[in-house]
Amino acid sequence: MEFNHVANRLAAAHFETVVALFTGRLGFVVLRRTERAIWLRQPGTNVDLQFSRSDTAHRDADKRRSQVSFLSLTPQADLEALAAWLAEHGLAATVGAYSDREFYLDAPDALVDFVIEAMRPELADYDVKV
């Protein structure tokens, strides 16, 4: 088997706003779209991201352990810019920290089962040959 994509849930009411964040601010392109889901890819990467619409009112209290993660030289500032963009589009978001090199953005009204993480590149500098 070959790894293809990761899927996460978005609140249906804010689905299009989060998709616009990923396409407009993070450069993702749409690969496929159905009535209830969308598949996205950031050019230059080889893993796809699927978002599915969710009508659930339940938010996992431990969802910070599930992330869509990015590498950045300025992770906190980058997430704060995304939080400001979301606020401009009517969606409250906050930025928190796991450490001084790992940060996360949560938009609890939209992100059902994950947060958006940004971390310094050296944290993903694994000594593994692929």
The model's pLDDT over 4-25, given as tens digits with 9 standing for 90+, comes to 899 999 999 999 999 999 999 9
Residue type, 60: D
pLDDT of residue 57: 66
Whole-prediction pTM: 0.91
pLDDT exceeds 90 at position 62: no
Residue with tokens 């392109």: 29
Residue 129 lies in a domain: no
How far apart CA 128 and CA 3 sit, in angstroms, is: 17
Give how many domains the chain has, as a whole number.
1
Q: Which domain holds residue 43?
A: 5-55+63-124
Query: Is 82:38 a contact under the CB 8 Å cutoff?
Result: no
pLDDT at residue 37, rounded to an integer: 97
**Is the confidence at residue 38, as pLDDT, over 70?**
yes
Is residue 67 included in any domain, yes or no?
yes
Other C-beta atoms closer than 10 Å to the C-beta of 89 total 15
Any domain includes 9: yes
pLDDT of residue 95 exceeding 80:
yes
CATH of residue 70: 3.10.180.10
Would 130 be classed as within a structural domain? no
- Tokens in use for 45? 């990467």
